[in-house]
């Protein structure tokens, strides 16, 4: 197994679970009569972002990688737990060069990532 694959899969599944939890929260808050209308739209947008990022991570697409990095940088604002999780995750991604696990448009044609190509050549 290529190093970092499990990390990406776990985060992908966690974000899809967050999608379900966020949709449930939006549903419950929509039952409240005196809620602001923007909370419904904001909750749906955040839910979709979790889902799209999770799918992008599991499919190992480069756009999933960038959405995930934006997610982690925004998670820095959730002090203190989010800051620690985000810092450790970004540090792990940099140390293990996680970006090489993701397909770019050029590698999509061949079906292999840079890491898989270099491992096959050795």
- The DSSP string of 29-98 is HHT-TT--HHHHHHHHHHHHHHHHHHHHHHHTBHHHHHHHHHHHHHHTTSTTHHHHHHHHHHHHHHHTTG
CA atoms within 13 A on the CB side of 7: 20
SS3 103: strand
Q: What is the pLDDT of residues 15-29, one digit of tens each?
A: 999 999 998 988 888
Tell me the C-alpha distance between 83 and 116, whole Å. 32
- Return the pLDDT at 104: 61
Per residue in 66-120, pLDDT (tens digit) is 999 999 999 999 889 999 999 999 999 999 989 998 876 555 555 555 555 655 5
Rounded CA-CA distance 114/107 in Å is 8
* Closest to 28 measured CA to CA, from 14, 39, 17: 39
pTM recorded for the entire structure? 0.77
Q: Which residues span the domain enclosing 107? A: 5-121
Q: How many domains does the chain have?
A: 1
pLDDT in tens, 19-73: 999 989 888 888 876 777 777 888 889 999 999 999 999 999 999 999 999 999 9
């Amino acid at each position: 197994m290529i190093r970092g694959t499990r990390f990406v899969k776990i985060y992908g599944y966690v974000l899809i679970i967050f999608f379900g939890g966020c949709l449930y929260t939006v549903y419950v808050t929509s039952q409240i009569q005196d809620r602001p209308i923007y909370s419904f739209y904001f909750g749906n947008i955040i839910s979709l972002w979790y889902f799209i990022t999770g799918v992008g991570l599991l499919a190992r697409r480069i756009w999933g990688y960038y959405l995930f990095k934006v997610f982690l940088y925004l998670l820095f604002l959730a002090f203190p737990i989010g800051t620690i999780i985000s810092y450790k995750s970004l540090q792990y991604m940099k140390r293990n060069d996680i970006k090489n696990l993701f397909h770019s448009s050029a590698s999509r044609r061949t079906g292999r990532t840079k890491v898989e190509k270099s491992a096959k050549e050795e």
